[in-house]
Amino acid sequence: MNKRWIRIVALMAALGLVLAACGGDSEDTTTTEAASDTTEATETTEATETTEATDETTTTEGEMTEGVACDEPITVGLITDQTGALAIYGAHMLRGVPAGFEYATGDDGADGTYTLDGCDINLVIKDDQSDADLSATAARELIEVDGAEIIIGSVSSGVTATLQEIALENDVILIAAPAAANDLTGSTFNENTFRASRNNYQDAMAICANLTQEYSTFVQIAPDYTFGYGGAQAYRDSCSALGGEFPADDIFAPADTTDFTPYMEQINEVDAEALLVTWAGGGFIPLLQGAIDLGVLETKTLASPFVDNVALPPFFANAVGSTSSILYHYSFPDNPANDFLIEKASQVDTKPDLFDADGMNAAIMVVEALKVTGGAADADSLRGALEGLSFDGPKGTIEIRAEDHVAIQDMYIATLLNVDDPDFMYFEYVETVRPAPPCLLEGDNEARCGDLPVGSLEG
């Protein structure tokens, strides 16, 4: 059986575990995991009851810590885009990460230091402008000058791949957020990289479960780099596993494209009902304009996960009434962590956006792991704490899958009601789904997948 069919079979098995929603809020969602009957090493912990005042965490063996202490402050570095092409997303992290540390420690961190029991956590923030060289420099400064033992970042998947290598070389822990490329916990996996965010397959499994109920043929366009390749493959596999067909090869355009005319001309020639779009950043707008100018949307329905609050109005103005998936919208979850995130955002006169929850989850994840280790921040101790860790954040319970460090989490299906609400109340909640994506580890790491459904990326 070739790799393509192995992947399709794996996705068919995994897609069966995308749960339909419960009525009401996301806390009522139950989860069936692909690893539910595997060995002890694959067991996940019971959900941690996380509130502002709660300090208890359950490890994979069910042991409880007695408090946190450290001889020296622990430095956590946040590397994100503050002034570059993806700064619109970096702003989400700059809100979400501090909010997460404040929520999880109960300390407002006014000076960038959060006190957890007998231990100080220093948060140091660096701007990488979504540039791999700048990100590498920032990471080395954090590790060699600031003494960072944990790094959170970055917005760009390609940049985050660079951080992976540096974290492994220096034996520190990297928490990927919000980068979504499959490779980070797939072909480029290493034991020091963990996710707080979702991967491409979780996006694709959520949207294809909905799309294939209405459409049977698809064509897609994606950016010509890691995030785009992973997204395109995940959409193709997920929708195909549910009966969808792709009558043409996927189309890739450079991430900095401003004129999409030649790409839309190719798309126009394809006999397909829906246009799948994987994109990130400002390219959304010229892509959409190109689709309109070339008449693509007269014959094909735009099919894409809903995006951030700022980009959504121009990108989806002609899609009011449509139903799709979204990673997070502040109005959907009903839990203490999300309430806290909303309150913190209101203090700067805004609402949480698409990746605010990723940032908050990354910070909570750090604190909960330190509770397990009792304050030990070396990579060996943190790996043991993070693998199988379960904690509650603004999206409800996050489970770090021990085998490949994927973060199993809720995703949402919503119907777009408008694009002009001043509080970004654009949606009507439909349901919550919880995709359990296939394990994408390769080579020597593939054995870690155990009994999980497996797949591999081609090319």
How do the residues of the chain divide into helix, strand and coil, expressed in percent and rounded to 5? 35, 20, 45
In this prediction, the residues of the chain whose per-residue pLDDT falls under 50 are 1-5, 19-62, 64-65, 456-459
Burial class (CB in 10 A: 0-12, 13-18, 19+), 151: buried
- Token pair for 339: 């309430």
Name the H helices within 245-387. 261-268, 284-293, 296-299, 312-316, 336-346, 356-373, 379-386
Pairing assessment for the beta strands 274-277 and 301-303 based on DSSP bridges: parallel
Q: In degrees rounded to 5, what are phi and psi of residue 208?
A: -70, -30
Task: Name the residue type at position 8.
Answer: I
Amino acid at 353: D
Cα(99)–Cα(338) distance, integer angstroms: 10
| 130 preceded by a cis bond (ω within 30 of 0) | no
Residue 449 has which token pair? 């997948």
Q: What is the model's pLDDT at position 31?
A: 37
Residue 430 CB contacts under 8 Å (≥ 6 apart), including other chains:
21, 323, 412, 413, 414, 415
The pLDDT value given to residue 15: 61
Nearest CA to 445 out of 193, 163, 178, 153 is that of 193
26-47 CB burial, b ≥16 within 10 A, e <16: bbebebebbbeebeeebbbbeb
pTM: 0.85
pLDDT in the model for residue 8:
52
Distance, CA of 418 to CA of 406 (rounded, Å): 33
Segment 42-90, tens digit of pLDDT: 333 333 333 343 444 344 444 544 689 999 999 999 999 999 989 999 9
> Which residues share a beta bridge with 326?
412
For 307-329, the DSSP string reads --TTTHHHHHGGGTT-EEEES--
pLDDT cut 70: percent of the chain above it: 84
**How does DSSP classify residue 439?**
B
Of the candidates 170, 145, 167, the residue with the CA atom closest to the CA atom of residue 154: 167
| Distance (Å) of CA 2 to CA 27, 36, 386, 457 | 40, 27, 34, 12
Distance separating alpha carbons of residues 365 and 391, to the nearest angstrom: 7
Work out the angle between the directed axes of helices 157-169 and 226-241 (0-180°, nearest 10). 110
Specify the pLDDT at position 316.
Answer: 87
Q: What residues contact 254, with CB distance under 8 A and at least 6 apart?
A: 223, 224
What span, in angstroms and rounded, lies between the C-alpha atoms of 154 and 89?
10
- Both tokens of 27, joined, read 């806390």
> What is the pLDDT at residue 9?
52
Phi, psi values for residue 91, rounded to 5°? -60, -35
Give the C-alpha separation, 104 to 337, whole Å: 9
By C-alpha distance, which of 60, 37, 35, 58 is closest to 384? 60
**What DSSP letter does each residue of 62-125 carry, written as one string?**
-------B-SSPEEEEEEE-SSSTTHHHHHHHHHHHHHHHHHHHS---TTSEEEETBEEEEEEE
pLDDT digits 0-9 by tens, 228-242: 998 899 999 999 999
Separation of alpha carbons 433 and 19, rounded Å: 5
| Residue 155 in tokens | 């917005």
Q: Domains in the chain, ordered, with CATH?
A: 44-198+330-404 (3.40.50.2300), 202-326 (3.40.50.2300)
Q: How far apart are CA 290 and CA 265, in angstroms?
A: 9
The 10s digit of each residue's pLDDT in 19-46 is: 434 434 444 443 333 333 333 333 333 3
